[in-house]
Amino acid sequence: MDLIYFFGRLHVLLLHLPIGILLLAVVLEFMSRRGRFRHLQSAVGFVWAAGALCAIGTAALGYMHATEGGFEGAALDAHRLAGTSLALLACIVWLMRSRFSPLYAKAWPVAALGVVLLLFLTGHFGGNLTHGDTYLAQYAPGPLRGLLSSGRMRAARARPADLGSADIYLDVVAPALNQRCSTCHNDSKQKGEFSVASYASLMKGGKQGVVIVPGKPEASDLIRRINLAHDDKDFMPRDGKTPLTAEQGAAIEWWVSVGAPRTAAIASLKTTPEAHAALRSVLGFGKPHPAPAGEQPVDQQLADAAAPPPDIPAAAPEVVTALESSGFIVRPIAANNPLVQVDYTAARSVNDTDFAQLARIGKQIHALNLRSAGATDAQLDIIGRFENLASLRLELNPVTDAGIAKLVNLKQLEYLNLYGTQVSDKGLAQLSRLDHLRTLFVWQTPATPAGIAALKRAHAGLSVNGGFDPKTFPEGPKVIPVIN
Amino acid sequence: MSDRTRRDSQSDNGRNGVSRRSVLAGAVGLGGLALVDAVSSRAFAGAGSAVASGSIIDKGVLKTGHIPARAKRVVSIQMCGAVSQVDTFDYKPTLIKRHGEEIPPSVKNAGGRISAMSNGQTAYPLVQPIAKFRQYGGNGKWISDLMPYTGRVVDDLCFIHTMTTEHVNHDPASMFLHTGFQLSGRPSAGAWVNYALGTDNANMPSFIVMKSQHQSSGVAANGGLWGSGFLPSHFQGVELRAGADPVLYVRSPDGLDKKDRRAELDVITRLAQAQYAASGDPEILSKLAQYEMAYRMQDSMPEVADLSNEPKYIMDLYGPEAHIPGTFARNCLLTRRLIERGVKFVQLVQLGWDHHSKITARHPPDCMAVDQPSAALVADLKQRGLLDDTLVMWGGEFGRTSYAQGSISDVEAMGRDHHGGCFTYWLAGGGAKAGHSYGETDEFSYNIARDPVTVHDLHATMMHLLGIDHERLTYHFQGRDFRLTDVAGKVVKGVLA
């Protein structure tokens, strides 16, 4: 069987001969009837003979090649029909020339035209089998497109305006798969009975089963194969074809992990920083903010992993100066980032003037440290409006449940330190409304373990620290536990 | 010509002075110039209200990181003398199984040079860990019975088992660990952080060092380890001492009260400013900054060191030695208080550990002295919500050999020699991945199997967690741009949360 496959593969080599020779034969037929090229007439017969023999050989190898499988029915049939007809016609012409010359002398234009037509058809269907029926049309100018791809090519999608509005399947996954996988896995040529041409066929899988398990990239064979070592026998794409880039692979893997939706805007899905960077790269958006000239971060991956800064104006400098002369320290959270972190370190308690100033940069405050600052419940009302606040330290302040209640609109809050305050179980219950909250500290407060447990039940992603119990320390060694 | 001032600061390093050209060209950096403005324009309103006017807040030359920081503060704990990884955190059952057998030559030869203290030995028998190991925490981390308290907090720790260094002796290795270079003269990590990010509390130094007194013999740790190198000298670490005066030379002499001291400082400041205008010597500004800081520390330091309002059960958390000034336990407790007040870099140095002999007798007390306080520090910072943005680092300057130094037949006399090939560090908080172990050594804890981490990599990672790109924080000196990580260092992504 292997031998037949071997010869079958030679079909791809040999087919170039009948194409060239038969075309030459047709050209010679026309040219040799004109005055200047009459001397070529004696050669024409030989060329037809050579062409016919090569066509027969190619057809024979073609039949052997078809046994290998991986080619879908209709295109294969068309190619086989055209190719076999071509070989037969070439033989007929050869025969007619030698045996039935008078008839041939009248019929030769028909024969020539027929050969050319069959050559074209055979070649075209053969090319579609190898490269897919959108191969020629992909970069063709508009009017030609429909013609070249038998009308099946849709107009290309417009480039998405920004990352959020791009469609994950149509703008990211499908183009990547089409670019690198569709030469062998399209609707005409389905290696392993698998095609990436449409969402349905992609999810259907092939001979070995489904290749995409929505939500489980680790169980998806497609993800497995594209991540193997490049010389592994299962690696895809095979045969030294250009593989998917790392970013394309990461984007596809992320698409599977969020459930492999048929269509979804990226903004509606939950991205990780790595996925975000991969998507930006695949869609060609590059870095969100250009770095100042000559200051490119050396470790690009780590720099990209940081979330892009929000599009808000920087904190007003006069407010920053006013705050700093009152005992605050205000710094941006990173270079080129409008968000700031504010620490209060003076000995006196914060007063309403301070909070008035803070309110003026409320939108820019990302982290606020009011440890032991003497803040009151009324002042928490102002803090409750800082929409970008992610970290709030209120420990050792005389705040109570009434003040905590004012914080429930802080949609970005991830860290909240309430140790040493007067928050109780009632206040804790309110905090379950803070979806982004990840860590909460309530040591030395009236909150009880029951209240903490209730909050943890209501808010699964939240870790609550109620203090470290020294009794949980193991017994230290009293005798030196040495072994010999 | 300009009148050059003789500088007697620690960072002189044999330089004769800095040229005005270098100052005007910005070699000193924005810190120096900002200080000029601050010193000349601050509004000190009489007796001791310097606290209210925050205009001397030095936010450092960077003001903030290149990327958002995970950690705002660092606690670096050095086990000076080299803690044995085999007897603490690097569990190797092979050593138990093959105790007494000669270490395979292939392993020993791959491990690099052996120090002069044991390269004359004829035999290199393996020594099993001197105490049993057991598992702790959600991931079943193996920890020696000599470190049970650390075992209790192991879910917050990130171990790096594959630290490696080329140095096999204390002085170059410690200098390398602190400054990124084996010879003295470069700024320490704390000085770099101080220089880059300044302070979060105007009344306290931004870089504080505490060296504990410990009975076991060990190598000395000298001031160059927390020096400022070629950076202006006010970035050096301020050493807190045990005893009545936490910081030398801060207290005013008897008979001089704060009002007089303030007046005295104002006069000194005016004179020094005149001197600076004439010579442009940035060390004048450094000295002024130190005077001002000392003045503020007269109030803030006694408050930190005063533990009378510290509840007894918190002091007991750090162990019985927390009641004794000068011990490591006491220093850990003070560290927590300093971190609460926003000190950016605290360096703890614990001597001992250098057990070339009698390791079975000497190593356990060393462990007992540090185990509970270190664990308590992590737990105490965590319950106050400070562990999230405080990076705690714990380890020695290199490791110890898994073979015996001396004869293994004399169990009491034998010890372990220096070993730079692999040693263990742990990180906690500040963006380090909790409950994780990075890197693997071979079964003899002699060579690294995968994922080595050099000291430069560790520094690069620390800088990254502070939001700083270690390749972009540089200081121009002697014709080139120096940085903490010298010409190496890659951020270890595997330890990032």
DSSP character at residue A245? P
Per-residue pLDDT at A306 = 58
Q: What is the model's pLDDT at position B45?
A: 23
Determine how many CB atoms are found less than 10 A away from the CB of residue A71: 18
Instruction: For residue A370, list chain B residues with Cβ-Cβ distance below 8 A.
Output: none
Residue B11: predicted pLDDT: 35
More confident residue, B149 or A179: B149
Mean pLDDT (chain A) is 85
Q: Which residues of B touch A298 (CB under 8 A)?
A: 469, 471-472
CATH fold, domain B73-247+291-495, is Alkaline Phosphatase, subunit A (3.40.720)
Other beta carbons within 10 Å of B52: 15
Binning pLDDT at 50, 70 and 90, where does residue A224 land? confident
List of chain A residues whose C-beta atoms are within 8 Å of the C-beta of residue B371:
476
Give the per-residue pLDDT at B422: 95
Is residue A349 within 8 angstroms of chain B, CB to CB? no
Q: What number is the average pLDDT over the span A185-212?
A: 85
pLDDT (mean) for A174-189:
83
Give mean pLDDT in consecutive 10-residue pieces for chain B, a chain of 497 residues: 35 38 45 41 27 54 91 96 96 95 92 84 93 93 95 96 94 96 96 94 91 72 91 91 73 81 90 89 84 84 87 93 91 95 95 92 92 96 95 97 91 92 96 95 95 97 96 93 94 94
Amino acid, single-letter form, for residue A417: N
DSSP structural state of residue A267: G
Beta-carbon contacts of A352 under 8 Å, excluding residues fewer than 6 positions away, are A379
Peptide bond into A237 cis (omega under 30): yes
Name chain A contacts of B151, Cβ cutoff 8 Å.
474
Q: List the CATH code of the domain at A317-468.
A: 3.80.10.10
For residue A266, give the DSSP letter: G
CB distance A266 to A164 below 8 Å: yes
Q: What is the residue type of A365?
A: I
CA atoms of B56 and A329, how far apart (whole Å): 11
Higher-confidence position of A72 and B152:
B152
Asked if A477 has any chain B CB less than 8 Å from its own CB, the reply is: yes
Q: Is A2 on the interface with B (CB under 8 A)?
A: no
Quote the pLDDT of residue B30: 39
Q: Are the Cβ atoms of B382 and A465 closer than 8 angstroms?
A: yes
Predicted TM-score (pTM) above 0.90: no
Domains in chain B: boundaries: 73-247+291-495
CA A403 to chain centre: 45
> What pLDDT digit, counting tens, does each position of A19-47 carry?
999 999 999 999 988 888 889 888 999 99
Mean pLDDT value across residues A129-141: 74
Reported as a single tens digit per residue, the pLDDT across A73-109 is 777 889 999 999 999 999 999 998 888 888 888 888 9
- From residue A77, alpha-carbon distances to A151, A352, B11, B43 in Å are 20, 85, 86, 93
Tell me the C-alpha distance between A482 and B28, whole Å: 54
What are the chain A neighbours of B84 within 8 Å (beta carbons)?
none
CB A165 within 8 A of CB A282: no
CA distance linking residue A446 with residue A464, whole number of Å: 14
Choose among A326, A415, A472: nearest Cβ to B152: A472
Q: From start to end of B217-336, where are the E strands? A: 238-240
Of B280, B289, B131, the residue nearest B206 (C-alpha): B289
Residues A254-290 as b or e (16 or more Cβ within 10 Å = b): bbbbbebbeebebeebebeebbbbbbbbbbeeeeeee
Q: How far apart are CA A367 and CA A341, in angstroms?
A: 4
Task: List, for residues A455-466, the tens digit of each pLDDT value.
Answer: 999 988 899 999
Window 357-416 of A, Cβ < 8 Å to B? 371, 393, 395, 415
Q: Using CA atoms, how far apart are residues B480 and A216, in angstroms rounded to an integer?
A: 52
Distance CA A396, CA A417 (A): 9
Q: How far is B12 from chain A (nearest CA, A)?
A: 32
Binary contact (A334, B313; C-beta < 8 A): no
User: pLDDT tens digits, residue range A416-428?
Assistant: 999 999 999 999 9
Rounded CA separation A130/A60 (Å) = 18
Question: pLDDT-derived band of residue A302, with 50, 70 and 90 as boundaries?
Answer: low
Give CA–CA dist B345/B237, Å, rounded.
Answer: 9
Tell me, what's the ipTM? 0.82
| C-beta atoms of B384 and A417 within 8 A | yes
Chain B touched by A299 (CB under 8 Å): yes
Neighbour tally for B376: CB within 10 Å = 27
